[in-house]
Amino acid sequence: MKDWFRRIGGLAALALLVVSVCLTSAAPVNLSKPIVDSIHITGAIDPAMALYVDRGVQAARADGAQALVVLIDTPGGLSDSMRSIIKDFLASDVPIVVYVWPRGARAASAGAIITLAANIAAMSPGTNIGAAHPVGVGGGNIGGTEGTKVENDAAAFARSVATQRGRNVHWAELVVRKSISSTEREAKDQHVIDIIAADQADLLRQLDGRKVTTASGTVILHTRNSAIRAIPPSFREGFLHVIDDPNIAYILMILAVYGIIFELSNPGAILPGVVGGISLILALFSLAVLPVSLTGVLLIVFAIILFLADLHAPTHGVLTLGGIIAFLSGSLFLFGSESRVAPGLILGATGVTAAFFIFAVGSGIRAQKRKVVTGKEGMIGKIVPARTDIAPTGKIFADGAYWNAVTEGEPIKQGELVSIVGVEGLTVKVKKA
């Protein structure tokens, strides 16, 4: 038996050795060639993207990469996350190449300033860059003195970045103050970007031999025969970034509302409260990044209030109908034009919510119309035999007890059927059935 275990252990150790050798030999790049690392920024610029970019810069430094190519397609995002990314770019010893890709992509708002911060900025055909005027969390302009301060700060930062990289400072100013946007050809002609490349292979060919200045000095790029090593987001970075999607944020918000309502309606259920609480926290994280419309939020909150009001004071569906209209309108207006929720998801969520509350309201109305079968009210209308003569008083037996009975009509003989028409204390009013 011991020999058998020893053999199994030996085979397992050999298998682990073979797997480790295979994994080591199956490197994704050819080490005999220069390495170019690559990361891909998609969606909103948020804390998760900032973490991802920071890790990509560190990995490129550790790999001794010729450059870090940052593929970008973004509508913008948080100013703090943008500044964190740009700090990494400016402090990098490895040349940073930002490439607006694929065709149809954009580097808007925060993405435009990030592109300006690259050692080399490139765009593929059919892309655009710009529109970096700062906006509030709700997606609208920031008014008053605060708005002026934020705009001046953003414009100064854009000018500083453009000066640092030798780009068009005037364009950097206008992209913040006037929200101008340029195509790839316009950006190249105005000295906003350096390269227009059809694809990544074309980009590497055009990068080869270029001289750039990094945090550690001047570097000449050798990228013609380099191997590209893609660095994907980690699970944590990917998860945090996924929940910043407007569709996911919308689902989390709906789950939070349902969970909290169910927990308040059924104290002690626990599971709805736990699900609602977790969903609420994740939804708040998402809503802090996305351009949320206050109008949309207020309409959805008002819809929930109408639904709950109709549950407790049924109005035959009038409040529920108003809630459905408010819920649908709020869902449509919840995010800015850059981050729309899928129409199918909105219709589905509205339909499920409407069906639930219509069912709940309908159940309440049916319960109100249902005949009372317990207590004094439940005795009215019952037909029972008289236990004694009732002329005008006597006895009946109903609901397991003897009752004093009184009749205001003709006398009732013992054994005749009577109908209960009223209850006063321990006395019931009856008449012949």
Short-list 341, 316, 315, CA closest to 329:
341
Task: Give the DSSP H or E segment for 112.
Answer: helix 110-116
Catalytic residue among 149, 178, 216, 265: 149
Catalytic residue among 38, 79, 92, 109: 109
81 catalytic? Reply is no
Alpha-carbon span 397 to 388, nearest angstrom: 10
For 279, the token pair is 């969903």
Name, in order, each residue with C-beta under 8 angstroms of 114's C-beta and a sequence gap of 6 or more: 41, 45, 70, 72, 82, 85, 86, 89, 98, 107
Short-list 343, 341, 337, CA closest to 250:
341
Burial 354-382 (b: 16+ CB within 10 A, else e): beebbebbeeeeeeeeeeeeeeeeebeeb
What angle, rounded to 10 degrees, do the helices at 235-242 and 47-63 form?
A: 150
Alpha-carbon span 141 to 154, nearest angstrom: 14
109 catalytic? Reply is yes
Alpha-carbon span 413 to 391, nearest angstrom: 8
Alpha-carbon span 128 to 187, nearest angstrom: 8
Give catalytic residues, as residue numbers: 109, 149
